A and B are shown apart, each in its own frame.
Chain A
């Protein structure tokens, strides 16, 4: 009798326990999901980044407009970049990689094109947000409406038919590719972590044309950036168009860094290729010099090496940057036109490299 009682209550107790622990497990999962769930607003205007007419992109006070020494090419798009810091929060200087942004920072990048009437027409606005709950960066895209009054949250990407003028005023028709949110992640993920690509100290370390003071120094003066060392100690990514101050080699390597190395780096999306195009990469094999491709397949165009010094026409790197064919074109995403000026730089650079045996 007593034994039955003991076993009975034991069973009851254990059921109670399992229910309890079940609950415990459930709770745990729901709380973590909720914490990771940062909510993006529906419209760009909802954030209140800009004063007056939205298309003017006139930043509200405290919002930093910034530029890069050498930018990524995106179909001759006109880009405006902003950093929105939470009130009173500061960016911490880091020597390598993206600057250390405070929680809740929003990085805003607007993409527009110049139409045949020389008007600036808005296409899309990309947001990177550092979620305060889990310290992870999150991506979202906003697609501008036809009326150009606002941009709406848009995750699936889009093809926008446009007729644009390039930097020389030459006319092109193309289907501009707005990336979907996974496309965003592909370029922004390094070692499994989503990070900003552009705002590294070395990419920001210059005087924006027309300004007297260095961009980083201005931020430090406005107490938006802390820990900035003497400028002479801050690395600088060369300005790819500045032929006066930088050599062909420096400019080409800067261009490859900003256009390719977000994927072509250890831990990046193209880690598997062994082709690493960071500005600081010194290993000639990883830089592609007489390097056979790994998995380029037909994308290599039947050529043998990534780069043949002195021979751009036989170099896969040049071939793929000069193509707009899916499966061949590099970068793979967000480019439907060839960047003539950039490709010319890379061609000249490859042709300038000393021929080896």
Chain B
């Protein structure tokens, strides 16, 4: 009896300590300090941002606010909240310095939700080196979709545990939603339109992208790995998205022709582009009317001849283990006009022409839905396997796949894009 009483006592003691201390940490929506502001109180709000103590929520009531820029640094458990994307509007058109409208640095536990932020000179919302980040019901837009717009609308970078949901981005001259060098990220139920790239996952590992709609961008969705960065990406799942009508001209700063880096490389008319990224699964998406290439799989060599010199633990230019299955894919009858003016677009136009020239039986069909640049690890290993990097595709139809043979594209006589699908079909 005594023993059992002692056991019960211990248990109670333990649970008492546990309950009282975990309650302090509390559920996400409990904050020690809760501040509320109205339009017209911008100076007070700026000061509040700069004086934040751990565990503070800031409510911005409905209305229009004008800011130069806002920043939060080195403080934990912060909520910035509006009354809805159509009610609380933050205008950064008077930004006079810095790289972004809102800058968040080194914050653990950051949530921003229910407002519109717009028209900064640089990026709209950059979240650097933070963890447990939630961006919810945020609209991040530039009124004009041209090269004067900032680069990224929603931009977490070097973060851990990021959730972006129910957001909308428009007008970014680079990517609307851009998750960079981050581990563990979810992008869901978001929309992006009239950006150069709707959404981009870059050097980011363990990402899931689902239930989104990316449309009317230059390119709908990108998964990129770039060299010389802090970490490698990969392990990205992309499903249940509706990626359609991404045929917008590439309005990245250099104009329609495109720089040789980043989204400058994205041809108008691209649905999904995988660049140098590995361990990717793309399934159950609707990928409709992206009229240059529904899905592009390209190596780092396609954009950088020196990619091989940059191989290290954080970078491998050859995409591996790419699994594409059970998507609904359709393309329109012709390339979008802006593709003809774009450096990579021209290569794809040429690929279609070459295929039809090599094989009259194609009867001038469109370029196949999935374009693989065909630069495999064989160039590093001197191997000869037809599919050494485990590209696996399971999609119905007869014009699904082309190996565009980019290695030989500069040599018209040797260049042989081919549609031999069987080595790449999922076993």
A residues adjacent to B (C-beta < 8 A)? 6, 10, 13-14, 17-18, 21-22, 24-26, 29, 33, 155-156, 159, 175, 177, 180-183, 185-186, 189, 192, 194, 266, 269, 271-272, 274, 285-286, 290-304, 325-327, 329, 332-334, 336
Is B96 at the interface (CB under 8 A from chain A)?
yes
Give the A-B contact count at a CB cut-off of 8 A.
180
| 12 pairs, A vs B, C-beta closer than 8 Å | A21-B17, A155-B47, A180-B71, A181-B50, A182-B103, A194-B74, A295-B155, A297-B172, A298-B148, A301-B253, A304-B259, A334-B97
A325 to B121, CA, bound (A): 9
Name the A residues within 8 Å of B157 (CB-CB). Answer: 272, 295
Name the A residues within 8 Å of B180 (CB-CB). Answer: 272, 294-295
A10 touches B105 (CB 8 A): no
Chain B residue nearest to A335 (CB atoms) is B97
A177 touches B96 (CB 8 A): yes
Chain B residue nearest to A14 (CB atoms) is B12
A298-B43 contact given A17-B17, A18-B16, A326-B95, CB 8 Å threshold: no
A302-B74 contact given A21-B21, A192-B129, A295-B180, CB 8 Å threshold: no
Name the A residues within 8 Å of B50 (CB-CB). Answer: 155-156, 180-182
Q: Which of B223-231, B368-376, B407-415 contacts A (4 or more CB under 8 A)?
A: B223-231
Closest 5 CB pairs of A and B: A297-B151, A302-B254, A292-B261, A327-B122, A182-B71
B16 touches A295 (CB 8 A): no
Name the B residues within 8 Å of A325 (CB-CB). Answer: 121
A54 to B147, CA, bound (A): 48
Is B144 at the interface (CB under 8 A from chain A)?
no
Residue picked from B13, B15, B97, B306, most chain A C-beta under 10 Å: B97
A302 to B250, CA, bound (A): 12
B149 touches A298 (CB 8 A): yes
A285 to B73, CA, bound (A): 29
Chain B residue nearest to A177 (CB atoms) is B97
A297 touches B51 (CB 8 A): no
A271 to B314, CA, bound (A): 14
A298 touches B261 (CB 8 A): no
A33 to B9, CA, bound (A): 33
Name the A residues within 8 Å of B73 (CB-CB). Answer: 182, 185-186, 189
Name the A residues within 8 Å of B148 (CB-CB). Answer: 298
Name the B residues within 8 Å of A269 (CB-CB). Answer: 105, 128
A295 to B203, CA, bound (A): 12
A302 touches B229 (CB 8 A): no
B254 touches A175 (CB 8 A): no
Is B283 at the interface (CB under 8 A from chain A)?
no
A291 touches B228 (CB 8 A): yes
Name the A residues within 8 Å of B97 (CB-CB). Answer: 177, 326, 329, 332-334, 336
A329 to B95, CA, bound (A): 13
A298-B12 contact given A155-B51, A274-B229, A332-B99, CB 8 Å threshold: no
> In chain B, residues 237-282, which have Cβ atoms closer than 8 Å to a Cβ of chain A?
252-255, 259-262, 264
A298 to B249, CA, bound (A): 15
A10-B9 contact given A17-B16, A18-B20, A272-B229, CB 8 Å threshold: yes
Name the B residues within 8 Å of A327 (CB-CB). Answer: 95, 99, 120-123, 150-151
Q: Which of B19, B106, B155 contacts A189 (CB 8 A)?
A: B106
Name the A residues within 8 Å of B122 (CB-CB). Answer: 297, 299, 326-327
A156 to B150, CA, bound (A): 24
B255 touches A302 (CB 8 A): yes
Chain B 109-137 near chain A by CB (<8 Å), digits 1 or 0: 00000000000111100001100000000
Name the A residues within 8 Å of B96 (CB-CB). Answer: 159, 175, 177, 326
> In chain B, residues 143-193, which have Cβ atoms closer than 8 Å to a Cβ of chain A?
147-152, 155, 157-158, 172-174, 178, 180-181
B71 touches A297 (CB 8 A): no
B228 touches A290 (CB 8 A): no
A272 to B229, CA, bound (A): 7
Residue picked from A22, A29, A294, most chain B C-beta under 10 Å: A294
7 additional A-B residue pairs with CB within 8 Å, beyond A10-B8, A156-B50, A186-B73: A6-B5, A156-B47, A298-B173, A302-B264, A325-B121, A326-B95, A327-B120
A285-B227 contact given A156-B47, A192-B129, A302-B254, CB 8 Å threshold: yes
Name the B residues within 8 Å of A274 (CB-CB). Answer: 226-230
A286 to B172, CA, bound (A): 27
Shortest distance from the beta carbon of B71 to any chain A beta carbon, whole Å: 4
Q: Which of A21, A290, A294 contacts B262 (CB 8 A)?
A: A294
B residues adjacent to A (C-beta < 8 A)? 5, 8-9, 12-13, 15-17, 19-21, 24, 43, 46-47, 49-51, 53-54, 71-74, 95-99, 103, 105-106, 120-123, 128-129, 147-152, 155, 157-158, 172-174, 178, 180-181, 202, 226-230, 252-255, 259-262, 264, 304, 306, 310
Shortest distance from the beta carbon of B257 to any chain A beta carbon, whole Å: 9
A292 touches B304 (CB 8 A): yes
Name the A residues within 8 Å of B123 (CB-CB). Answer: 297, 327
Chain B residue nearest to A301 (CB atoms) is B253
A297 to B171, CA, bound (A): 13
Residue picked from A6, A300, A332, A334, most chain B C-beta under 10 Å: A300
Residue picked from A182, A266, A302, A329, most chain B C-beta under 10 Å: A182
Name the B residues within 8 Å of A156 (CB-CB). Answer: 43, 46-47, 50
A297 touches B12 (CB 8 A): no
Chain B residue nearest to A11 (CB atoms) is B12
A285 touches B226 (CB 8 A): no
Shortest distance from the beta carbon of B70 to any chain A beta carbon, whole Å: 9
Name the B residues within 8 Å of A299 (CB-CB). Answer: 99, 122, 151
Chain B residue nearest to A303 (CB atoms) is B259
Chain A residue nearest to B306 (CB atoms) is A290
A14 to B122, CA, bound (A): 56
Name the B residues within 8 Å of A6 (CB-CB). Answer: 5
A177 to B73, CA, bound (A): 19
Shortest distance from the beta carbon of A208 to any chain B beta carbon, whole Å: 31
Name the A residues within 8 Å of B103 (CB-CB). Answer: 182, 186
B47 touches A298 (CB 8 A): no
A186 touches B226 (CB 8 A): no
A326 touches B121 (CB 8 A): yes
Chain A residue nearest to B32 (CB atoms) is A29
Shortest distance from the beta carbon of A294 to any chain B beta carbon, whole Å: 6
A25-B174 contact given A186-B73, A293-B261, A326-B121, CB 8 Å threshold: no
A349 to B240, CA, bound (A): 51
Chain B residue nearest to A19 (CB atoms) is B20
B13 touches A25 (CB 8 A): no
Name the A residues within 8 Å of B229 (CB-CB). Answer: 272, 274, 294
A296 touches B74 (CB 8 A): no
A295 to B53, CA, bound (A): 31
Q: Which of B17, B121, B151, B259 contacts A295 (CB 8 A)?
A: B151
Shortest distance from the beta carbon of A26 to any chain B beta carbon, whole Å: 8
A336 to B96, CA, bound (A): 9
A271-B158 contact given A17-B12, A21-B21, A177-B96, CB 8 Å threshold: yes
